[in-house]
Amino acid sequence: MDLHADLDQRVTLDTTDLPWTPSPMAGVERRMLDRRGGEVARATSIVRYIPGSSFERHVHAGGEEILVLEGTFSDEHGDYAAGTYLRNPAGSSHAPFSTGGCTLLVKLQQLHPADQQPLVIDTNNAAWRPGLVNGLEVMPLHGFGSEHVALVRWAPGTRFQPHSHPGGEEIFVLDGVFQDEHGSYPAGSWLRNPPGSVHRPWSEAGCTIWVKTGHLPAVQGPDGSEA
């Protein structure tokens, strides 16, 4: 299956309008944002666990990256409340579940095989740093090679200068409304700006976004190798 699989193409989606599709496990559904492959795929999805649902133990050959959006996500290693950012490196395995239900932003098979740092960050208690312009705050989450992941908080009326993303950019809007010259993106919006793209972002109302940059030039196959 190929869905928005051409990383040279810009994509914007209001994920709240997308249908939920079943996964192989009862009670676990997903909204597919991009995908290359079958059931084991390079994929970005919104995943929903209904209360009491679970997923069988599985290995992530190319790693897994998660941001808990709602509820509490769990596995044998712990419980992860809304606002938790996780990275499970290539080759890791777990048996996830959710007692009370949860919603996640999940990226599969997209971590570099040499990036072996497991990560759990409670963004509700992590520190914000001043951004490059007034009204902007940044919470760095992870960096490896050219890849950088962060939360960015925009005060109402904040504007950023035009800039390019040589390695591409991916954004998920957590709250408020994010804007650029191409449109306005309310909470739940997902954007992928391809390598070399340029934009001039701002937020009139204020917003918080999850941002990942520098990760798009090398596409990884299901085994974690570059393809």
Output the pLDDT for position 22. Answer: 93
Residues 9 and 73 in one domain: yes
pLDDT above 90: percentage of residues in the chain: 81
Q: Where are the beta strands (DSSP E) in 4-63?
A: 11-14, 21-22, 28-37, 41-49, 53-54, 58-60
Residues 116 and 22 in one domain: yes
Output the pLDDT for position 60. Answer: 85
Residues 63 and 96 in one domain: yes
Domain that holds residue 25: 2-122
Cβ proximity of 121 and 84 under 8 Å: yes
Q: What are the tens digits of pLDDT across the range 78-120?
A: 999 999 999 999 989 999 999 999 999 999 989 899 999 999 9
Which structure tokens are listed for 26?
């009862």
Output the pLDDT for position 36. Answer: 87
Residues 133 and 204 in one domain: yes
**Whole-model pTM above 0.85?**
yes
Residues 90 and 43 in one domain: yes
Cβ proximity of 37 and 3 under 8 Å: no
Q: What are the tens digits of pLDDT across the range 33-50?
A: 998 877 777 889 999 999
Residues 160 and 98 in one domain: no
Q: Indicate if the pLDDT at residue 23 is higher than 70.
A: yes
